[in-house]
Amino acid sequence: MALTLEHINTAPVAEAAAQLDGLYEHSPWIAEAALAQRPFRSLPHLKHAMARIVHDAGCEAQLALIRAHPELAGKAMVSQALTAESTNEQNKAGLANCSPQEFEKIQAFNAAYTAKFGFPFILAVRGPRGTGLLRQEIIATFERRLANHPDFELAESLRNIHRIVELRLNDKFGVEPRLGHQVWDWQEELGAFSDPGYKEQGQLTVTYLTDAHRAAAGMIERTMLGSGFDEVNIDAVGNVVGRYKARPHPSPLPEGEGEREGEGVKTLMTGSHYDTVRNGGKYDGRLGIFTPIACVGELARTGTRLPFHFEVIAFAEEEGQRYKATFLGSGALIGQFNPAWMDQKDADGISMREAMQHAGLPATLEAIRALQRQPSDYLGFVEVHIEQGPVLNELDIPLGIVTSINGGVRYVCEVSGMASHAGTTPMNRRRDAAVAVAELALYVEQRAARDGDSVGTIGILNVPGGSINVVPGRCQFTLDLRAPNDAQRDALVSDVLAKLDAICERRGVAHTVEETMRAAAAPSAPDWQQRWESAVDSLGVPLYRMPSGAGHDAMKLHEVMPQAMLFVRGQNSGISHNPLESTTSDDIELAVQAFQHLLNQLATEH
Ligand SMILES: [Zn+2]
**DSSP for 284-338, written as a single string:** TTTHHHHHHHHHHHHHHHTT---SSEEEEEEES-SS--SSS-TTHHHHHHTT---
Q: How much of the chain is in helix, strand and coil states, percent to nearest 5?
A: 45, 15, 40
Q: Residue 83: its pLDDT value, please? A: 73
> How far is ligand 1, taken at its centre, from the CA of residue 284, in Å?
5
Amino acid, res. 577 = H
CA–CA distance, 586 with 534 (Å, rounded to integer):
19
To 10 degrees, what angle do helices 585-605 and 178-191 make?
110
* Average pLDDT of span 415-442: 97
Q: How far is the CA of 240 from the centre of ligand 1 (A)?
A: 16
CB 590 within 8 A of CB 542: no
182 pLDDT above the threshold of 60: yes
The answer to whether 320 and 207 have CB atoms below 8 angstroms apart is no
Measured CA to CA, the distance from residue 492 to residue 472 in angstroms comes to 28
Q: Tell me the C-alpha distance between 414 and 214, whole Å.
A: 42
Confidence of residue 583 (pLDDT cuts 50, 70, 90): very high
CA of 454 to the centre of ligand 1 (A): 20
Between the CA of 33 and the centroid of ligand 1 the distance, in Å, is: 39
Compute CA distances 402 → 50, 225, 484, 519, whole Å: 25, 30, 10, 17
CA 285 – ligand 1 centroid, Å: 4
Decide: 20 and 173 in contact? Cβ < 8 Å. no
Average pLDDT, the chain: 93
Cα of 516 from ligand 1 centre, angstroms: 21
Distance from the CA of 137 to the center of ligand 1, in angstroms? 25
Mean pLDDT of 151-160: 95
pLDDT for position 136: 87
- Confidence grade of residue 259 (pLDDT, cut at 50, 70, 90): very low
Residue 16 has pLDDT above 90, yes or no: yes
* Residue 200 clears pLDDT 70, i.e. is over it: yes
Average pLDDT over residues 536-565: 96
**Residue 514: exposed, middle, or buried by beta-carbon count in 10 A (0-12, 13-18, 19+)?**
exposed
SS (H, E, C) 75-100: HHHHCCCCCHHHHHHHHHCCHHHCCH
d(CA 478, CA 437): 10
600 C-beta neighbours (distance < 10 Å), count: 14
The residues pairing with 378 across neighbouring beta strands, listed in sequence order, are 267
Closest CA to 529 of 340, 432, 401: 401
> 342 CA to middle of ligand 1, Å?
23
Instruction: Find the 174 Cα to ligand 1 centroid distance in Å.
Output: 34
**List of E strands, 152-266:** 231-234, 240-244
pLDDT of residue 298 exceeding 50: yes
Quickly state the pLDDT bin for 248 (edges 50, 70, 90): confident
Q: How far is the CA of 62 from the centre of ligand 1 (A)?
A: 35
Which amino acid is present at 484?
Answer: P
Q: Output the CA 281–ligand 1 centroid distance in Å.
A: 10
Query: Phi and psi of 51, rounded to 5°?
Result: -60, -40
Residues linked to residue 564 through DSSP beta bridges, in sequence order: 382
The C-alpha atoms of residue 109 and residue 117 are separated, in whole angstroms, by 12
Instruction: Compute the C-alpha angle 108/112/113, nearest 5°.
Output: 115
Whether residue 274 has pLDDT greater than 70: yes
Ligand 1 center to 552 CA (angstroms): 6
The answer to which of 183-187, 250-254, 303-307, 584-588 has the lowest mean pLDDT is: 250-254
The answer to whether residues 403 and 551 touch, using CB atoms and an 8 Å cutoff, is no
Centroid of ligand 1 to alpha carbon of 465 (angstroms): 36
Residue 64 is predicted with a pLDDT of 96
Q: What is the pLDDT of residue 292?
A: 98
Q: pLDDT tens digits, residue range 493-506? A: 999 999 999 999 99
The share of the chain scoring above pLDDT 70, in percent, equals 96
Kindly give the distance from the C-alpha atom of residue 144 to the centroid of ligand 1, in angstroms, as a whole number.
Answer: 25
Say yes or no to pLDDT of 253 above 60. Answer: no
Beta bridge partners of residue 310, listed in sequence order? 244, 268
String of DSSP letters for 430-473: ---HHHHHHHHHHHHHHHHHHHSS-EEE---EE-TT--TTEE-S
pLDDT grade for 258, boundaries at 50, 70 and 90: very low
CA of 498 to the centre of ligand 1 (A): 33
| Region of poorest pLDDT, from 54-58, 87-91, 350-354, 431-435 | 87-91
Return d(Cα 586, Cα 342) in angstroms, integer. 42
CA of residue 35 to ligand 1 center, whole Å: 39
**Cα distance between residue 163 and residue 147, in whole Å:** 21
**How far away, in angstroms, is 286 Cα from ligand 1 center?**
8
The pLDDT assigned to 96 comes to 74
- Mean pLDDT, range 5-15, rounded to an integer: 96
Ligand 1 geometric centre to CA of 517 (Å) = 19
**Distance from Cα 2 to the centre of ligand 1, integer Å:** 39
The Å distance, Cα 580 to ligand 1 centre, comes to: 15
Q: How far is the CA of 255 from the centre of ligand 1 (A)?
A: 49
Pairing of strands 240-244, 309-315: antiparallel
> Is 391:400 a contact under the CB 8 Å cutoff?
yes
pLDDT classification of 325: cutoffs 50, 70, 90: confident
Q: What is the pLDDT of residue 134?
A: 87
CA of 384 to the centre of ligand 1 (A): 10
Ligand 1 centroid, distance to 185 Cα (angstroms): 19
In this structure, the strands spanning 378-386 and 563-568 are parallel
CA dist 206 to 102, 169, 345, Å? 33, 37, 17
Per-residue confidence (pLDDT) for residue 559, from 0 to 100: 96
How far apart are the CA of 449 and the centre of ligand 1, in A? 25
What is the enclosing helix (H) or strand (E) of 548? strand 545-548
| 283 Cα–ligand 1 center, Å | 8
What would the mean pLDDT of 46-64 be, rounded to a whole number? 96
- Buried b / exposed e over 559-589, threshold 16 CB at 10 Å, is ebbbbbbbbbbbbbbbbbeeeebbbbbbbbb
d(CA 203, ligand 1 centre) in Å: 17
Pick the more confident residue, 25 or 76: 25
Q: Average pLDDT of 319-337?
A: 93
pLDDT of 305 reads 97
Residue type, 172: K
- How many angstroms separate the alpha carbon of residue 592 from the centre of ligand 1? 18
Indicate if the pLDDT at residue 358 is higher than 70: yes
Q: What's the gap in Å between 273 CA and the centre of ligand 1?
A: 6
CA of 601 from ligand 1 middle (Å) equals 26
Buried b / exposed e along 392-401 (16+ C-beta atoms within 10 A):
bbebbbbbbb
Asked if 327 contacts 337 with a C-beta cutoff of 8 angstroms, the reply is: no
Per the DSSP assignment, residues forming a β-bridge with 563 are 381
pLDDT in the model for residue 76: 63
Query: Is the predicted pLDDT of residue 251 greater than 60, yes or no?
Result: no
Compute the distance from residue 52 Cα to the ligand 1 centre, in Å.
30
Q: What is the pTM of this model?
A: 0.91
